[in-house]
Structure 1
Amino acid sequence: MKGNGDSGEVIVVGSGVIGLTTAVVLAGQGRRVRVWTREPAGETTSAVAGALWWPYRIEPQERVGAWSLTSLRVHEELAARPEETGVRLVPGVHAGVLLDGLGPWARQVADLRQLPADEVPAGHGSALAARLPLVDMPVHLAWLRARLEAAGGAVETREVRSPAEAAAEAPVVVNCTGLGARELVPDPEVTAVRGQLVLVENPGITSWFTAADEASSATTYFFPQPGRLILGGTADEGHGASAPDRVPDPATAAAIVERCARIRPEIADARVLGHRVGLRPVRSKGVRLERDGEAPAAGTQLIHNYGHGGAGVTVAWGCAYAVASLLG
């Protein structure tokens, strides 16, 4: 028996890394895909992400491992063309992390190793070394869009107030709206976790570093990207999507620079290039990736793919292929 999506027409709502990656995978399977987006990809939360591959603060654990590894394999291939795709394999250190405390997925990450005590950064009891995908998000989002368009897909600027609007034009709708799902579905489990970053001139740092205390809203990390060094960060819960929540706080920025300079002192004197704030779409019940039992219109399918928090780039390809499998 054929499914409702066999006409091949799909509307993906949302143009962040989740939406565009999903659209690329579906278009690659021969489907006619349109992405409807309220804002250009360059203005989404994805555009201001760090963005290091690592399954950080994302649930459900029983599904995240497989999604992450699928994405890792794709990123490893894309890293062969970094100028085109924005993906590079970069060495670095996760401070305060024990290999034994990670899920089974960690055993399939090449070169992931526990550092001996004499190599652990000062102030931390443990650390892991790894060579992982680091993604220049503006470049990567532009590459995804170009790949989608090359496959016959299109991106259209259009605000969607309900899934039924999209279902009126295509038999399959994939909801990748991130924070927007709170109102679109509606799903009150979706909340914004505010992340602030500082962009500085790179004083010669070639490796990344992270130290995240899951009990604290303050994190410490720096990621070397072409033309800049990204410093972070914060994970402030309880925020909305209003304009004030998107305004960088000078005191927070100064604290970020100070924390990063404790690890690499040369950061203290690096010239500031700019500030960024992103609102991560966190869902208290974990990522929602499933077919909705209530179709928005007769003969249509609605598939949800949202709630990835700050780990969108880590699971994007795995989740995209999971969506494709739901369509058969």
Structure 2
Amino acid sequence: MNGKHPRVDPGSESTVQSSSMDIRVCVVGAGVVGLSTATLLQANLSPDVSVTLVADKFLSDTTSIGAAGIFWPGLHFQGPTPEITSRWLKDSYDHYKSILNSPEASIAGVKELSGYHVSNNYPKVVLDEMFKRILEEYRNCTPEELSTLGFKYGTFITTLVTDCTYYLPYLTRKFTSHGGVIEDRHLNSLEELSGKYEVVCNCSGFGAKDLVGDSIMTPIRGQVYKVRAPGVRNFYFNDNDTFIIPGMELVTLGGTKQFDSYNAEVDKYDSLSIWKRVTELLPSLKDAQIVREWVGWRPYRPVVRVEKERMTFDGGRTLKVVHNYGHGAYGVTSAPGTSMHAVRLVKEFLDEPKAKL
């Protein structure tokens, strides 16, 4: 981690006694969901609460770092109810929009981006009514636009991009500058945190499959190119998981959505397929400079898990846990909203009267 944030030895007493604060809360996981939760806890809890973040992967080692970061909720992104799902997305969009309208936008990696969702085969795919209700600009393409693009159906959309190569360091600096402590530590069980923290937020992403035994957690393998193509000003979505999304410096070209695939290596056949699809969609990309290829496992769960649990371990030890994981391909899109929900659940736990001895 190269000294980018403070760490403590997980075997040291300073792990839980380094602060004079009385109430201790822990966040597990340092991807976009974990860091969003940690910073929002700091912003919404009383000053006598200290927040520690525990993880064994940071910044460039996280799944979040490879995300294109576009605010784009897919139709299979689901919370426990449609109302909660809608609230998560609206809260997330408003959160990013507030950053966009602040002096921190450029250092946080948040920018506005317009572009096209097009298809020659599926007219219903290019229109998402829930997404449309959130955004300020979402319209059908004009006949002239469709003719220029070479497609039958399409929508023109203005949304936001949050580039995690900027955003994760931004959140990390924000967290540590407000007194947050980071532990570089691998956990085999949340039981290891019992007795040390009043509440633990489990934002472990795909790691929840082993950490809390969530057997329905499934990887959706994504492979992308990161290229330099300064002439690309708009985003493009097309059929077969084809997308072109400009970030702050690089353009993300993709992609794949391979359900239940544990292949962590770049696949040459996927590379050929992606390159063929994106250059057919936007021929000027043939001149793009390839910076790297990237593979990650999106942590998919049929219903994103944001809920409270009182865990009991052998010997009677207990732990109050707020889960916040299973966002699939929509971690960046939904992280602020689900994290706000998680913060509310943490406050409910902390507001409970303590049992008298």
**Global fold match (TM > 0.5):** yes
Q: Which residue of 1 aligns with 2:109?
A: 86
Determine whether 1:322 maps to 2:326: no
Q: Which residue of 2 aligns with 1:292?
A: 309
**Which 10-residue stretch deviates more, 224-233 or 180-189?**
224-233
Q: Please state how far the C-alpha of 1:116 moved relative to its aligned partner.
A: 3.0
> Equivalent residue of 2:303, what SS?
coil
Q: Which residue of 1 aligns with 2:297?
A: 279
Determine whether 1:237 maps to 2:259: yes
> Equivalent residue of 1:294, what SS?
strand
The amino acid that maps onto 2:338 is C
The amino acid that maps onto 2:111 is R
Q: Which residue of 2 aligns with 1:312?
A: 331
Whether the 8 Å contact between 2:135 and 2:158 is mirrored in structure 1 is no
Determine whether 1:53 maps to 2:79: no
- Structure-2 separation of matches of 1:51 and 1:300: 33
**Alignment partner of 2:86 out of 46, 55, 65:** 65
Q: Which residue of 1 aligns with 2:7?
A: none
Determine whether 1:222 maps to 2:244: yes
Determine whether 1:170 maps to 2:197: yes
- Structure-1 separation of matches of 2:130 and 2:222: 28
1:1-328 equivalences under 5 Å are 8-29=23-44, 30=46, 31-56=49-74, 57-60=76-79, 62=82, 63-80=84-101, 81-96=104-119, 98=124, 102-104=128-130, 106-120=132-146, 124-212=151-239, 218-240=240-262, 245-283=263-301, 285-295=302-312, 298=317, 300-328=319-347
**Which 10-residue stretch deviates more, 20-29 or 248-257?**
248-257
> CA 1:274–1:299 in structure 2 vs 1: closer, same or farther (change >3 Å)?
closer
> Equivalent residue of 1:256, what SS?
helix
- Structure-2 separation of matches of 1:289 and 1:123: 42
Deviations 1:264-320 (A, max 9, x none): 11112322111011110001x310110014355756311111100010111111111
Q: Please state how far the C-alpha of 1:99 moved relative to its aligned partner.
A: 8.8
Q: Please state how far the C-alpha of 1:122 moved relative to its aligned partner.
A: 5.0
Whether the 8 Å contact between 2:194 and 2:318 is mirrored in structure 1 is no
> CA 1:46–1:293 in structure 2 vs 1: closer, same or farther (change >3 Å)?
same
Q: Which residue of 2 aligns with 1:3?
A: none
Number of residue pairs aligned between Structure 1 and Structure 2: 313
TM-score by length of 1: 0.89
| % identical equivalent positions | 27
**Which 10-residue stretch deviates more, 96-105 or 115-124?**
96-105
> Equivalent residue of 1:186, what SS?
coil
Q: Unpaired runs of 5+ in structure 2? A: 1-20, 348-357
Q: Please state how far the C-alpha of 1:9 moved relative to its aligned partner.
A: 1.4
> Equivalent residue of 1:223, what SS?
strand
- Structure-1 separation of matches of 2:63 and 2:57: 10
- Structure-2 separation of matches of 1:125 and 1:188: 42
Q: Which residue of 2 aligns with 1:215?
A: none
Whether the 8 Å contact between 1:93 and 1:130 is mirrored in structure 2 is yes
Displaced runs of 4 or more, over 6 A: none
Deviations 1:155-184 (A, max 9, x none): 211011111112231110111011000001
Q: Which residue of 1 aligns with 2:354?
A: none
The amino acid that maps onto 2:117 is H
Q: Please state how far the C-alpha of 1:253 moved relative to its aligned partner.
A: 1.2
Q: Please state how far the C-alpha of 1:203 moved relative to its aligned partner.
A: 4.8
TM-score by length of 2: 0.82
Whether the 8 Å contact between 2:228 and 2:291 is mirrored in structure 1 is yes
- Structure-2 separation of matches of 1:101 and 1:251: 30
**Which 10-residue stretch deviates more, 114-123 or 141-150?**
114-123
The amino acid that maps onto 1:238 is D
Q: Please state how far the C-alpha of 1:233 moved relative to its aligned partner.
A: 0.4
- Structure-2 separation of matches of 1:278 and 1:267: 23
- Structure-2 separation of matches of 1:67 and 1:276: 28
- Structure-1 separation of matches of 2:235 and 2:249: 15
